[in-house]
Chains A and B, each alone.
Chain A
């Protein structure tokens, strides 16, 4: 029998191509006679387009054609996840078109496209397009945008409101706060982030005039969804006439889930120039305006409780900035994926949250690396520290007193996870929060922090320690929940897998999910090799092409292992069952008497009467001898709709030192104890945690998109946006507890987002702890030296 690779840190099978420069990303694809597209983007954050004159551009060297919005008969892009789903909540929807026609709502919205022989010629010709603009006043702050007198972006969205959505028990929370011993209030900002996968986005469109079929290569997490959206909603082209392919994807983190204008544009452009391929690749600066941003919440929180540390209510009002027009699932992020997990791992009796989605003259905001859950964790974890400070109790002890006890699962949380329609309840199904926290506290030496603070003071440093005890909802999602009234992503959320055991015993698995660096080619192969008892190198995992893979919803929301790989396990089970029936035929035995041990199918009591799965595959695939009721080939497809989400949790602890002189914050230790259930490949799990933590630390300490009041993106390039660098981190210390998920056979929960969800709050709480001697109880991120120094000076009565 082959060595069982499930659960071991095997090296990744995709790596040889990446470490030798043989990866094949979107921009590496060169098709015969390929033309190139460049997009003219608005220099204004808010303006009407009076006219566009492209005549001079059309005469430029190498220019094949110039396209404007008026040329394109396509619909606006779809918005697939309204706040509140079909519950009747008013969503005032405005989405981008392939190119803007009448007005632009942010700097970077596309208004014209040049198709030329070379990328350079296309870019050169952009300068020759003359647009008559009528600039309009802009607004970039979500709270200000809702105030009277603010510039109005859309006629159908008075006061720039996309929706107002409430969740939880408002009356209960109001009453609890009214009668509480202690109430703490705070306005907190979760600043806008620019995602920055290292590979920017791009597409290639290819129209075949003979068959009237389109092929679209796209750097995407969701090629199947894009085919559906581009055909059924945008272009009107029949779905079976379009093929979408994602080549190697150089990071995505949510940004490549969505339907973007450029995807439709390359399709239109290829047909417009007679079926030549058309490639578009955004520049990094362009990406900052043409690919979604993340976060950007302004939140008013109130936390109430008793002096002995029992929280009795959390009441929250959030303004969620969704940008100038809506991205594909923009409204779903600050609603379902945020407010429904706002109470985190805590047993709060009363929770209520009001979310106002807002249009501003900024790049659209959608799911980014954690998507709603980092924002929720930041709110509740800052709230816990504010509450602890107010009552003078240790933050770890306050958390301990409010955790959902392990004997109370499944737990129906008060912000409404359990309210999915049709009687289909969604619970937090499992958890055991204290052991993870205790492990993290012990590792970091929490008891010794007072001494360490004193020691740091000797060196001119203020040391702070911060906790984040988080949960996340991932493995999205049961279709019955996500499609229910009140949630309402306009699609199901199952996954699919097909497995074929070919004549030579080699196995090809095709899956509906789509990797972007997670190593799915390795981990699916580990799972399938385990299930079928074959060597891992005999399994190849194919993905990312709508032609040849079963429909799937793609990879995001930490769902591939729990949902997609369960589909693969089901398909392998079907393979095993058919192989068992055929083994009975080969061995002239009853099916009930066939025992399966790895790759060996033997007759009970006669271990010498045995056929391997490879022998079985050879015979059944040939089909020379088949029982009457059996079809040839080991070829099985399975679909899996998960009965519940998964619920990872853990405790992250950051230790920072703030320099007295400069205000510079150094992260000196980071301890993370995560419970992500069982692990398919622990090496890959740790790597994902490292990356997520780095993002969360980055948000707390350095990153942030900055707009001027005129709507110009001032952090408009990698020169101006503080991406974390290698030298800014200590070695991260990871540990685990293991509570298997009960909802899938692997017991896995997903780990793609955990690091990013937990870490921002841990670092923020550590910085505020360090600044406690200054009487500072809250400060908005990022904690740059300047921000911290000013705060320290301000509290001393000095000049900022």
Chain B
């Protein structure tokens, strides 16, 4: 069926045959069972589906799966190192940067993109970077605090945090 693509997802080479119209987010969720990437809208507004494609944050509903052929894709499932949380994940937990958790994977992926470009963002820079990600639970305040904390931990070379707290 359809087009053959090969790409690397969370470090593992994957091959898929997809319909040309299949969105990257559908390929991840439906074909690869990576359901941590969420679909929150149909107009590329909410950011819940944000993943990294070749190191850049991308809303995976804005991209066809075939466009990811040959790319390296990282999803929320690829952020932790085994049982050791990524510092951004740990900071979201520590600072109560989530409530229902639905926007959280996209927030974390967007935050990771920001911190890769700016190791010490101001609150305004954090808020600006998160403008493409909606959250309806938190009012964003603790998300901003989490990203600020993650930046601090990364800058200070903080150790990863065990997922079992």
Output the nearest chain B residue to A10 by Cβ-Cβ distance: B165
Partner of B89, one of A19, A691, A723: A19
B99 cross-chain contacts in A, Cβ below 8 A? 251, 517-519, 687-688, 691
Could you mark each residue 227-271 of chain A with 1 if its beta carbon is under 8 Å from any beta carbon of chain B, else 0? 000000000000000000000111111000000000000000000
A732 cross-chain contacts in B, Cβ below 8 A? 139, 141
Partner of A729, one of B21, B48, B141: B141
B128 cross-chain contacts in A, Cβ below 8 A? 726-727
**B100 pairs with A250, CB closer than 8 A:** yes
Partner of B96, one of A16, A27, A687, A755: A687
Query: Contacts A16-B163, A20-B36, A198-B100 given: A718-B46 contact, CB under 8 Å?
Result: yes
**B98 to nearest A CB, angstroms?**
6
Query: Contacts A120-B19, A199-B40, A718-B45 given: A726-B136 contact, CB under 8 Å?
Result: no
How many Å lie between the Cα of A9 and that of B96 in the bound state?
10
Within 8 A of B (CB), among A450-474: none
Output the nearest chain A residue to B106 by Cβ-Cβ distance: A198
Query: Contacts A25-B38, A199-B38 given: A12-B43 contact, CB under 8 Å?
Result: no
Output the nearest chain B residue to A22 by Cβ-Cβ distance: B36
Within 8 A of B (CB), among A129-159: none
**B101 pairs with A20, CB closer than 8 A:** no
Segment at the interface with A among B62-70, B71-79, B151-159: B71-79
Flag whether A48 is at the interface (Cβ < 8 A): no
**A19 pairs with B108, CB closer than 8 A:** yes
Flag whether B115 is at the interface (Cβ < 8 A): no
Could you mark each residue 682-702 of chain A with 1 if its beta carbon is under 8 Å from any beta carbon of chain B, else 0? 011011101111110000000
Query: Contacts A20-B163, A23-B36, A198-B135 given: A726-B94 contact, CB under 8 Å?
Result: no
Flag whether A284 is at the interface (Cβ < 8 A): yes
A14 cross-chain contacts in B, Cβ below 8 A? 101
Could you mark each residue 11-38 of chain A with 1 if its beta carbon is under 8 Å from any beta carbon of chain B, else 0? 1101111111111110110100000000
**A167 to nearest B CB, angstroms?**
32
Flag whether B7 is at the interface (Cβ < 8 A): no
How many Å lie between the Cα of A732 and that of B140 in the bound state?
10
**A546 to nearest B CB, angstroms?**
21
Partner of A19, one of B104, B126, B140: B104
**B37 pairs with A19, CB closer than 8 A:** no
**B113 to nearest A CB, angstroms?**
15
Output the nearest chain A residue to B135 by Cβ-Cβ distance: A198
Output the nearest chain A residue to B130 by Cβ-Cβ distance: A726
A692 cross-chain contacts in B, Cβ below 8 A? 139
Query: Contacts A198-B48, A285-B42 given: A23-B165 contact, CB under 8 Å?
Result: no
Flag whether A516 is at the interface (Cβ < 8 A): yes
**A253 pairs with B136, CB closer than 8 A:** yes
How many Å lie between the Cα of A23 and that of B124 in the bound state?
30
**B133 pairs with A284, CB closer than 8 A:** no
**A284 pairs with B41, CB closer than 8 A:** yes
Interface hub of B29, B38, B79 (most chain A Cβ within 10 A):
B38
**B139 pairs with A694, CB closer than 8 A:** yes
Flag whether A442 is at the interface (Cβ < 8 A): no
**B131 pairs with A727, CB closer than 8 A:** yes
Partner of A15, one of B75, B98, B136: B98
Could you mark each residue 724-738 of chain A with 1 if its beta carbon is under 8 Å from any beta carbon of chain B, else 0? 011101011000000
**A21 to nearest B CB, angstroms?**
2
**A197 pairs with B136, CB closer than 8 A:** yes
**B65 to nearest A CB, angstroms?**
13
Output the nearest chain A residue to B89 by Cβ-Cβ distance: A19
B80 cross-chain contacts in A, Cβ below 8 A? 20
**B125 to nearest A CB, angstroms?**
10
**B39 pairs with A11, CB closer than 8 A:** no
Partner of A727, one of B35, B130, B165: B130
**A783 to nearest B CB, angstroms?**
19
How many Å lie between the Cα of A726 and that of B141 in the bound state?
8
How many Å lie between the Cα of A725 and that of B89 in the bound state?
21
**B102 pairs with A251, CB closer than 8 A:** yes
How many Å lie between the Cα of A15 and that of B95 in the bound state?
11
Flag whether A107 is at the interface (Cβ < 8 A): no
Flag whether A717 is at the interface (Cβ < 8 A): yes
Flag whether A283 is at the interface (Cβ < 8 A): yes
Flag whether A628 is at the interface (Cβ < 8 A): no
**B77 pairs with A250, CB closer than 8 A:** no
B102 cross-chain contacts in A, Cβ below 8 A? 23, 25, 197-199, 250-251
**A731 pairs with B141, CB closer than 8 A:** yes
How many Å lie between the Cα of A687 and that of B135 in the bound state?
12
Flag whether A1 is at the interface (Cβ < 8 A): no
**A516 pairs with B37, CB closer than 8 A:** no
Output the nearest chain A residue to B45 by Cβ-Cβ distance: A718
User: Which size class do A's interface residues fall under?
Assistant: 35 or more
**B140 to nearest A CB, angstroms?**
4
Partner of B100, one of A16, A19, A120, A517: A517
How many Å lie between the Cα of A196 and that of B136 in the bound state?
7
**A20 pairs with B38, CB closer than 8 A:** no
A250 cross-chain contacts in B, Cβ below 8 A? 38, 100-102
Output the nearest chain A residue to B36 by Cβ-Cβ distance: A21
Interface hub of A19, A28, A718, A731 (most chain B Cβ within 10 A):
A19
**A357 to nearest B CB, angstroms?**
27
**B101 pairs with A284, CB closer than 8 A:** no
A723 cross-chain contacts in B, Cβ below 8 A? 45, 134, 136
A729 cross-chain contacts in B, Cβ below 8 A? 127, 139-141
**B93 to nearest A CB, angstroms?**
5
Flag whether B138 is at the interface (Cβ < 8 A): yes
Output the nearest chain B residue to A199 by Cβ-Cβ distance: B102
**B137 pairs with A251, CB closer than 8 A:** yes
A285 cross-chain contacts in B, Cβ below 8 A? 42-43
**A725 pairs with B134, CB closer than 8 A:** yes
Interface hub of B35, B77, B79, B136 (most chain A Cβ within 10 A):
B136
**A525 to nearest B CB, angstroms?**
13
**A516 pairs with B96, CB closer than 8 A:** no
Query: Contacts A198-B103, A285-B42, A727-B128 given: A12-B36 contact, CB under 8 Å?
Result: no
**B76 pairs with A20, CB closer than 8 A:** yes
B5 cross-chain contacts in A, Cβ below 8 A? none
B46 cross-chain contacts in A, Cβ below 8 A? 198, 284, 718
A731 cross-chain contacts in B, Cβ below 8 A? 123, 141, 144
Measuring CB to CB, which residues of chain A are less than 8 angstroms from any residue of chain B?
A: 9, 11-12, 14-25, 27-28, 30, 120, 196-200, 248-253, 283-285, 516-519, 683-684, 686-688, 690-695, 717-719, 723, 725-727, 729, 731-732, 755
Listed by A's residue number, 25 A-B pairs whose Cβ atoms lie within 8 Å are A15-B101, A18-B98, A19-B89, A19-B104, A21-B75, A21-B105, A25-B102, A27-B35, A120-B19, A120-B21, A197-B100, A197-B136, A198-B135, A199-B38, A199-B40, A200-B40, A252-B100, A284-B41, A517-B100, A683-B96, A691-B136, A726-B127, A726-B130, A729-B139, A732-B139
12 A-B pairs besides A19-B108, A684-B96, A726-B144 with CB distance below 8 A are A11-B96, A16-B165, A21-B35, A120-B21, A199-B102, A250-B102, A251-B137, A284-B41, A284-B46, A285-B42, A686-B96, A693-B139
Measuring CB to CB, which residues of chain B are less than 8 angstroms from any residue of chain A?
A: 19, 21, 29, 33-43, 45-46, 48, 75-77, 79-80, 85, 89, 92-94, 96, 98-105, 108, 123-124, 126-128, 130-131, 133-144, 163-165
Q: Which 8 A-B pairs have the closest CB atoms?
A: A21-B36, A18-B101, A517-B100, A250-B102, A694-B139, A21-B76, A690-B139, A517-B99
